[in-house]
């Protein structure tokens, strides 16, 4: 399935990621998305009929240890949030009114 990279897609991604882009940045993002999708379309050319499907491409033992770390201070975590209310990040509604 080929994804149509157009201005509507870039504007939707801009909205979903809660950023504001200039027209120049939108053009660059559009070009980058087209290049990325063209690169991944090369996978369609591979003959994978003899390749066994895998659940995860990384074998066991090649991931980092899950070690607890000190949490980020609340004020530092909220530094880049657009909207904050009572110490929480306020995001856009994703369902309903």
CATH number at residue 23: 1.10.20
Residue 23 forms part of a structural domain:
yes
- Read off the pLDDT of each residue in 61-90 and give the average, rounded to a whole number: 88
Contact call for residues 78 and 89 (beta carbons, < 8 A): yes
Averaged pLDDT of the chain? 87
**pLDDT higher than 70, residue 62:** no
Considering the domain boundaries, does residue 16 fall inside one?
yes
User: Mean pLDDT across the stretch 19-36?
Assistant: 94
Q: What is the pLDDT of residue 93?
A: 81
Q: State yes or no: pLDDT of 61 exceeds 80.
A: no
- Is 82 among the domain residues? no
Its domain, for residue 29, covers 7-45
**29 domain-assigned:** yes
Check whether 97 has a pLDDT greater than 70: no
Question: Average pLDDT, stretch 42-53?
Answer: 87
Structurally, how many domains does the chain consist of?
1
* Rounded CA separation 37/62 (Å): 28
pLDDT at 22 over 90: yes
Treating both helix axes as pointing N-terminal to C-terminal, what angle do 7-16 and 23-41 enclose, rounded to 10 degrees?
A: 100
């Amino acid at each position: 399935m080929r994804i149509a990279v157009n201005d509507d897609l870039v504007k939707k991604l801009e909205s979903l990621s809660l950023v504001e882009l200039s027209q120049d940045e939108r053009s660059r993002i559009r070009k980058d998305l087209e290049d990325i999708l063209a690169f991944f379309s090369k996978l369609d050319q591979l003959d994978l009929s003899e390749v066994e499907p895998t659940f995860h491409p990384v074998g066991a033992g090649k991931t980092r240890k899950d070690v607890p770390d000190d949490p980020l201070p609340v004020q530092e975590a909220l530094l880049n949030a657009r909207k904050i209310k009572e110490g929480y990040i306020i995001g856009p509604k994703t369902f309903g009114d």
